[in-house]
Chain A
């Protein structure tokens, strides 16, 4: 389905619910894994809001990505428990292996690297997840192999 119709459908689902903007953007994000410029403009059009207002909400919350993401999302938990157990070194290693910085996507669009604030799996810290699959008590030396298995 074309983006415009899809967005219209999602907006319609929330009807005239005045607090619905965030939920609408979340649904679009779930569908496309990022918020396309066209989608933001269309939401503003449908809700009769200024584009700037929709954009500011999209830009404010961590849940939204304004750029397309890679095929696999690699998340490093940067909660305090993971941090004191060396999550910073794990992140460094991932950045080196993927040759990108946190928040970026690899050139081949295979991986997006992001940080998350506490997944609540503190007992198996440090933790990374790839597409929701959890890897606990992660060690630097395991990272190459794990990434390789997604290639």
Chain B
């Protein structure tokens, strides 16, 4: 049944009851990351335990709040109770928790944090001592703007989205008859820039497409998150899919489009499923389709599954792919806003951008523009991963220092090893060294450091990461993903890769450094699209900040980080070896010999340098040279 603006309030009420029931509400974080750590088993165990306990509770699936390190996460809330979050859940712990809850024990000892709800009341005495959400170092510096709903609402229940203010943005536009021009003006005032990488002001794309003649027009959501090490778009679609749909409706209204398309990565089956369900629910409620909320505005959204090609993150390649063609980019002298999909005016934005749009219209331009720096407004979502203690998705105000992100929120380096670099911007970005850790995170500062904002991957590397090897890794990626249309990218990246490969094998030559730099600059300047245009960045930044490591590989034939197998050798330290035989047992090529309780030795001729002996040795007797 199609709803009108006034009906939103009724749905809001029922959604609110679902979020704040008279009984207990037990939620399990069930986005892909949670499921990978066993959330489904925890969910099943909770359902089973609740059944047997006589506890008046409903077990609900939600998305992910982004604290991956502590997953699976379970939250409990009730009429008089804040949200209490319990980390590292297992089916056993879940059963134990339910038993305790049944006798009114909220298990402070197991809890991670408590968070107040929409109808915030003072927490009752028994949970007061649990640390508050915004006091926890991981969340303290975060600013939850786009991720506000993630991990709180059931992503498969549209009513819970509406209860948290969902679809009130389009409700407001239609009720107050806000003109498309004024919508664009609000986006302009907010200072929103594209969250997909380049940071182009969103309103400018919209303005051009609004002015462009021709019909139909299209809005497209780029959900082909191809950057290895970034998963925030997936998380938004799995945790709060309606926020993206609502943003696209606003965009469609603003430019005068009747059709939206989400181009979504095929490796994300759960995101595809949840978005599909959300689209269906929105259609059933008349929030998509003809005459939305009686406004006279027609708009619908379809899904196009990507074929798995990194280059399709490039706008013109993405459009070719939607058209069923090979995903090759085209020269950019024709703007998408005038001639995009099927040669019609098209606006293409990233998942995070669309979700930001929804929030900006709902909360006002200022709610966004007051966050961030002079030129980079609002919040940015990062996937904080690699050799860091607190892995997860974090939403922070633009302008935060890298140091605060890594040490305060991220908790520092795993095993308290030495920080070496942080890689931002994925294969198009670069490695930022320790001396630049006080850099504020914004589009310009990162670009100046030779890296880029990109889609938000942030990979932390420690002293055991080889910078030459990591540059080679990224180049291998872009080499494989180059579509092959233009020569600098197709041939140039391959040449750079081969040089790096030689260096990591100890066959580097002194002139290689200069060749890499020259090639890198030529590829950047002459490639057709930004895949090639940015592919040399990982090499150029590591050359800029870690030249010593390159020189050690080339001149001394050494890999200081101990990664490049051709340049390292394993041996056993007789002083520490107890002859326990663990390394011998695990060596896959029988390169280790020795009698029980006698010092063992490694035959370098047979050793394949897999490092397994070193990782299994309990006495740190295996040395790496």
Contact B323 A60 (CB under 8 A): no
Contact mask for chain B residues 372-396; partner A; CB cutoff 8 A; 1 contact, 0 none: 0000000000010111000110000
Residue A110 at the B interface, CB < 8 A?
no
**Chain A residues closer than 8 Å to B327, beta-carbon distance:** 60-61
User: With A80-B457, A120-B33, A122-B391 in contact, do A19 and B307 touch (Cβ < 8 Å)?
Assistant: no
Q: Bound complex: CA of A63 vs CA of B268, how far in Å?
A: 12
B325–A57 CB distance below 8 A: yes
The verdict on A146 contacting chain B, using a C-beta distance below 8 Å, is: no
B69 within 8 A of A: yes
Whether B36 lies near A80 (C-beta < 8 A) is: no
Which residues, 67 to 86 on A, are CB-close (under 8 Å) to B?
78-81, 83-86
Q: What size tier do the contact residues of chain B reach?
A: 35 or more
Q: Please tell me which one of the listed residues B35, B71, B309, B588 contacts residue A60 in the complex, with CB atoms under 8 A apart.
A: B309
Contact present for B391 and A96 (CB under 8 Å): no
Q: Within 8 Å of chain A (Cβ to Cβ): is B615? A: yes
Known: A63-B308, A84-B459, A140-B610. A21 touches B36 (CB 8 A): no
**Which of B36, B326, B392, B608 is the most central at the interface, judged by chain A CB atoms within 10 Å of its CB?**
B36
**Whole-angstrom CA separation of A124 from B459 in the bound complex:** 14
Q: Mark A8-50, 1 if CB is under 8 A from B, else 0.
A: 0000000000111111001000000000000000000000000
With both beta carbons as reference points, the residue of chain A lying nearest to B465 in the complex is identified as A84
Contact A122–B229 (Cβ < 8 Å): yes
Distance, CA A123 to CA B231, complexed state (A):
11
**A127→B36 contact, CB < 8 A:** yes
B385 lies within 8 A of A123 (CB): yes
User: Within 8 Å of chain B (Cβ to Cβ): is A92?
Assistant: yes
Question: Would you give the shortest CB distance from B164 to chain A, in whole angstroms?
Answer: 24
On whether the beta carbons of A117 and B477 are closer than 8 Å, the reply is yes
A64 contacts across to B, CB distance below 8 A: 307
B-chain residues with CB within 8 Å of residue A4 when the two chains form the complex: none
Quote the shortest CB–CB distance from B265 to chain A (angstroms).
10
Residue in contact with B610 in the complex, picked from A89, A118, A120, CB distance below 8 Å: A89
Given contacts A85-B386, A89-B610, A123-B392, contact A80 B308 (CB under 8 A): no
With A60-B326, A62-B307, A125-B385 in contact, do A117 and B228 touch (Cβ < 8 Å)?
yes
Sort A-B residue pairs by CB-CB distance and give the 9 closest, nearest first. Answer: A61-B307, A120-B231, A123-B68, A62-B308, A80-B229, A21-B324, A79-B228, A122-B385, A81-B385
Some 7 contacts from A to B, beta carbons below 8 A apart, are: A18-B323, A19-B324, A22-B304, A92-B608, A117-B226, A124-B68, A141-B612
